[in-house]
Amino acid sequence: MQRLERTLHDALHDASLVVLDLRWLAFMDLTGLRVILDGARFARESGRKLHLLRGASRVDRIFALTGTAETVNTVELDVELGQLSAR
């Protein structure tokens, strides 16, 4: 998890928009959730944006079960249009 934390931290310090792709993630525990929530909080507080590309239902579920789904900006990739769309 330290690698994700460091990579997300660096990306959020270097860019105004970071998209974290969860589409191929098979599993996420509370440690991963904490890293993402910390990144989302930093992004909000620093005027940056963090978008999560929607993952598998079992990954999305951890946000719903913990009541944090509304605290992150989850988007989907419209492959045909080549753009992100909020959901």
Which helix (H) or strand (E) segment holds residue 67: the answer is none
CA nearest to 59, candidates 77, 20, 33, 86: 33
Per-residue pLDDT of the chain (87 residues; tens, 9 = 90+): 799 999 999 999 999 999 999 999 999 999 999 999 999 999 999 999 999 998 889 998 999 999 999 999 998 876 555 566 665
Q: How far apart are CA 9 and CA 35, in angstroms?
A: 9
Query: Whole-prediction pTM value?
Result: 0.86
Number of domains in the chain: 1
The parent domain of residue 30 ranges over 2-86
Strands 17-21 and 49-53: parallel
| CATH number of 29's domain | 3.30.750.24
